[in-house]
Chain A
Amino acid sequence: MKSGRSQRVLPGFGLSLGITCTYLSLIVLLPLATIFARTTDLSWAAFWSTVTNPRVLASYRVTFGTSFIAAVVNTVFGLLVAWVLVRYRFPGRRLVDALVDLPFALPTAVAGIALTTLYASNGWIGQYLEPLGIKVAYTSLGITVALIFIGLPFVVRTVQPVLDDLEVEVEEAAASLGARRWQTFSRVVFPTVAPALLTGFALAFARAIGEYGSVVFISGNMPMKTEIVPLLIITKLEQYDYPGATAVAVVMLVASFLLLLTINLLQWAARRRMATSS
């Protein structure tokens, strides 16, 4: 790739690039472009008043607030789970490792009804929380619980390979220089893992703000209180308020793309750091 390949030896460039570009245009780009084109149906003032309507604002608060808390919880426990899986040996470790991917594989609707039943006031967990005055199902706490479920593998699977690659010699050096275990962790291990942890956080957060299936059952869907943005979009679509749905969707798309950009920059920075350090 760097030098010496003056011309293409391998065949199939035109064919494969042709298939890729045609397919992407038809299935991904044209449909996505429609949504931006559709916003031109609205005047700027109408667009602005739609996306800043109190009910819409409340739904941003619910979606971004619960997604943020869920992503923070996932970051803490994701690091713990990754650490335990990489560093310790205990019976059933491989099974647990495989199970971490369950949220990727389980259809979101199934996760949604299972979590709702679990945390309802007569559910396996809900019945013990109810006397304590903690209501989970049909509150924003419930939304957070569903988003924690959905986001967990993102953090674990981003942090795990970095922990795996961490050289024990570095920790040994820190220890032989007199660092306590906690110091070694906070000054040596953590800074190395931090970029991956941040990427995992961003991935979990990005997934959470768009999530629908697992949340819609447990959220209760009360406008102004527990209504998430994706549900609001569906409600608008069902009322044939296409311009309104499009306007809100564009705001969410822009937020998602900005997050995607941040994630790519984070990963690029992490790769560069790895390259310069080695």
Chain B
Amino acid sequence: MTSIAVPRPATTAPRAIARATGESRPVRWVLITIALAFLAFTLVLPLALVFSQAFSKGFSVYWQAITEPDALSAAKLTLLIAAVAVPVNVVFGVAAAWCITKFDFPGKNVLITLIDLPFAVSPVISGMIFVLLYGAHGWFGAWLTEHDIKIIFAVPGIILATTFITSPFVARELIPLMQEQGTDEEEAAIVLGAGGWQTFFRVTLPNIKWGLLYGLILCNARAMGEFGAVSVVSGHIRGQTNTLPLHVEILYNEYAFAASFAVASVLTLLALVTLALKTLVEWYQRRSAHDLAETKSTPERMAA
């Protein structure tokens, strides 16, 4: 260390600068090692443990745990929730991004903050607000009981809470992206006689497809994995209002650890697929941004 750091007069020799703007090799390797060791402990070990525990009682126990009727119905419910929450939030996200990025109107910043709001709310509180509204003692509780409609401790409540939690994902991804792209291309399309929907599907959608997909992937992962909010509104009725994450909890609390980790491993696989897709989309996004920059760099041709 000391031999390297002998104070020198301020020469501008390139090598001295290279040394001063980068760390020496040993420092570099120490930093990399600490960072990787930290990540190994916090991220990789839990990941490895899930799979090791899942197969600890052999493959047949694993297979049985993920194909028993309760697990299958939990999987079905989880898919159903995502199948409702994700498309609804895609429509909302696109609509919100369209009005925020393509038009000027007062209160826009307030609207952006309101869209972000569910991110700031604890999952438990997100579930609780729906209990206060639609539960037996809730505001609409008496009316709902009268008409024999069950929302809380039933599937609609789970879908509502999940929709609340996942509502910002798509909008959040699209707003900065569409802000950057501006309105020129859409305006050109309209001036050339395209209809509104035509403009959206032919001009806007191809421009935002990667961002949209990115938001959709994150939204889906959260919808399938949500635990706190769903746990408050579900009532944990096996075979009826049990999602996969809740099923993991039930098995774990019954000391059926191998089975619990078997179901957890399915969710972990889902998370890994999500990460892989996300990385892929980021790669495509960068590539298309690069292409866009190249076409934008020849404005003369476009202006002519």
Contact = CB atoms under 8 A, between A and B. Distances in A.
A35 B245 contact: no
A11 B196 contact: yes
Contact of A237 (B128, B139, B267): B128
Contacts of B120: 206, 256-257, 259-260
Contact of B46 (A34, A149, A168, A178): A149
Contacts of B111: 20-21, 24
A73 to B, nearest CB: 9
A181 interface: yes
Contacts of B239: none
Contacts of A30: 133
Interface string A14-36: 01110111011001111110110
Contacts of A5: 104
B242 to A, nearest CB: 12
B249 interface: yes
A108 B117 contact: no
A88 B20 contact: no
B293 interface: no
Nearest to A25: B114
Given A102-B47, A107-B226, A114-B264, A77 B35 contact: yes
A19 B95 contact: yes
Contacts of A264: 113
Interface of B: 5, 7-10, 12, 16-17, 19-24, 28, 31-32, 34-36, 38-39, 41-47, 49-50, 53, 91-92, 95-96, 98-100, 102-105, 111, 113-125, 128-133, 137-139, 160, 163-164, 167, 183, 186-187, 190-191, 196, 199-200, 218, 221, 224-228, 231-232, 244-246, 248-249, 252, 257, 260-261, 264, 267-268, 271-272, 274-276, 278-279
Given A9-B190, A12-B196, A17-B99, 8 more contacts: A11-B199, A23-B167, A31-B132, A90-B32, A102-B43, A108-B225, A176-B20, A178-B7
16 contacts: A8-B103, A20-B99, A28-B164, A31-B130, A32-B117, A34-B139, A35-B129, A83-B35, A104-B218, A108-B225, A113-B252, A114-B49, A148-B42, A176-B20, A211-B122, A249-B122
